[in-house]
Amino acid sequence: MRITGYKSHGVAAAAALVNAVTAAAGDDSPDALRRLLRENEFFWQEFEDADAADFRRWGRVLRPFFEADRLEEATAMLNRLMLEIPMHPHLAVHEPHGLHMHYAPPSSRLVERFRATTLMNLAELIVEHGLGRTGVCAADGCDRVYADTSRAGRRRFCSEACANRTNVAAFRARRRE
């Protein structure tokens, strides 16, 4: 997924992982995680069931980023993680992304590459947009997070379903008045 000129499929992947692991209706089973990696163009073929625990831990680590309402807070968090996560930026060429950056050391495991890529893509996102593109769904009773990768960047809901439900409720409330 391309946003603002970056090949940053890690942004949507980070939101999907946080929802899989931390949302009430989330599914963080190995099969669901494998599907998530495939949908977000990571090397899902390398995923093994034993990796699930590491992915779940990373999903919990990233949740506060989406909940942050102050840029300083989000910046400090990403800076701390960028010092903890092994990084060794280099260029790579492979489908479906063509020439692009890899951030983890070349021989890293899938989960290590996933951590480095999601982290760097979130960092690039806030450099460009501050916290305007990420958040917790505005629908009543929904605890899912979103990352807006559209050009317009006006998203406030995790899904069309939540946006529609909220709009219908607002419409009914107006009619009652």
In the complex, which residues of this chain contact Zn ion (CB under 5 A)? 92, 137, 139, 142, 144, 158, 162
Q: Is the peptide bond before 96 cis (omega within 30 degrees of 0)?
A: yes
Q: Which is nearer to Zn ion, 98 or 177 (CB)?
A: 98
Q: What is the rounded distance in angstroms from the CA atom of residue 43 to the CA atom of residue 37? A: 7
Q: In this structure, which amino acid lies at residue 159?
A: S
Shortest gap between Cβ of 8 and Zn ion (angstroms)? 12
Q: Which is nearer to Zn ion, 53 or 169 (CB)?
A: 169
Shortest gap between Cβ of 67 and Zn ion (angstroms)? 14
Shortest gap between Cβ of 70 and Zn ion (angstroms)? 22
Cβ neighbour number for residue 127 with a 10 Å cutoff: 12
Shortest gap between Cβ of 110 and Zn ion (angstroms)? 11
State the distance between the two ends of the chain, measured CA to CA, in whole angstroms.
43
Three-state DSSP class for 152? coil
Q: Which is nearer to Zn ion, 25 or 83 (CB)?
A: 25
Shortest gap between Cβ of 98 and Zn ion (angstroms)? 9
Q: What is the rounded distance in angstroms from the CA atom of residue 119 to the CA atom of residue 115? A: 6
The CA distances from residue 45 to 34, 54, 110, 116, 158, in Å, are 8, 16, 10, 18, 27
DSSP assigned state of 139: S
Q: Which is nearer to Zn ion, 72 or 95 (CB)?
A: 95
Q: Which is nearer to Zn ion, 154 or 175 (CB)?
A: 154
